[in-house]
Homo-oligomer: A and B are copies of this chain.
Amino acid sequence: DKPFVLIAGPCQLESRAHALEMSHALVEITRKLGLGLIYKSSFDKANRTSVSTARGLGLEKSLPILAEVRETHGIPVLTDIHSPEQCAMVAEAVDILQIPAFLCRQTDLLLAAGATGRAINVKKGQFLAPWDMKNVAAKIASTGNENILLCERGASFGYNTLVSDMRSLPIMAETGYPVVFDATHSVQQPGGLGGSSGGQREFVPVLARAAVAIGVAAVFMETHQDPDKAPSDGPNMVPLSMMPEVLGDLVEFDRLAKGRPVGRTMAAR
């Protein structure tokens, strides 16, 4: 019913200046389009393919920057957490804690995140069926926190490839929690470049459009002013300069979809 919210930012928090610059640009873009914005960046890439690649600024340096982004623009901020211990501290600086896909079954992490009372965006594991996300959500909800988002980001499909099963969007929506489509990681080719993951940037607008047409509460889309020089996920980030056009399309499809919920035309499952 309401327009989708954009969860966007560069994959990795690179510096204070970069974060302020990127968030400023995204605020401008989404304001013109009438979209809500949640700024996303990671302080630590905790599960990279290779041990020798950059992991990011780290928790201590990053939280004040995320807090500054939040305060400067008056927008909610999201970051991913990797251990139960991080949850409380991160929850002070950001509005939404994100559970990485590989960690979506780690009970302690889900409970610690839930206990902060912050909104929790859980990525569906590449190894998980969409109907099994209700068990994941129930772990968080057991803390009394029902502020949960469920995020599709691709399922394992042979080796080094993911496939986006669009059925997962209505299946996860049956839980009653808002559903997010991560258009960036759905086109990742995990480990596909040997020492790092490949990606298929050109399919981001394709899959995002499909998801928005079906109907989602939010679209997750990483972006960078120069993706090919980004320290991580470059192959699947959308260049910042293309965001207005990519998002402009999605806004139109979203408006249409919100007026015509897909479940309306057929008997429920």
**Given that A47-B105, A201-B266, A262-B205 are known contacts, is A256 also in contact with B246, CB under 8 Å in the complex?**
no
Report the Cα distance A187→B187, complex, angstroms. 22
Q: Tell whether, in the assembled complex, residue B205 and residue A265 are in contact, meaning their CB atoms are under 8 Å apart.
A: yes
Number of copies: 4
- A177 touches B (CB below 8 Å): no
- A126 touches B (CB below 8 Å): yes
Q: Which of A7-15, A61-69, A160-168 contacts B (4 or more CB under 8 A)?
A: A160-168
Report the Cα distance A214→B83, complex, angstroms. 38
- A73 touches B (CB below 8 Å): no
**Given that A49-B135, A156-B127 are known contacts, is A253 also in contact with B256, CB under 8 Å in the complex?**
yes
- A89 touches B (CB below 8 Å): no
Question: Whose C-beta in chain B lies nearest to the C-beta of A269?
Answer: B202
How many Å from the CB of A244 to the closest CB on chain B?
A: 9
Q: Tell whether, in the assembled complex, residue B210 and residue A127 are in contact, meaning their CB atoms are under 8 Å apart.
A: no
Please give, as numbers and ranges, the residues of chain B lying within 8 Å of A110 by CB-CB distance. Answer: 51
Q: Tell whether, in the assembled complex, residue B260 and residue A246 are in contact, meaning their CB atoms are under 8 Å apart.
A: no
Question: Whose C-beta in chain B lies nearest to the C-beta of A140?
Answer: B51
Please pick, from B132, B238, B252, the residue contacting A191 in the complex, using a CB distance under 8 A.
B132
How many Å from the CB of A169 to the closest CB on chain B?
A: 8
Report the Cα distance A203→B48, complex, angstroms. 30
Report the Cα distance A98→B203, complex, angstroms. 29
Please pick, from B47, B127, B138, the residue contacting A126 in the complex, using a CB distance under 8 A.
B127
How many Å from the CB of A46 to the closest CB on chain B?
A: 6
Question: Whose C-beta in chain B lies nearest to the C-beta of A268?
Answer: B202
- A129 touches B (CB below 8 Å): yes
- A128 touches B (CB below 8 Å): yes
Q: Tell whether, in the assembled complex, residue A163 and residue B157 are in contact, meaning their CB atoms are under 8 Å apart.
A: yes
- A88 touches B (CB below 8 Å): no
How many Å from the CB of A210 to the closest CB on chain B?
A: 4
Please give, as numbers and ranges, the residues of chain B lying within 8 Å of A50 by CB-CB distance. Answer: 135, 138-139
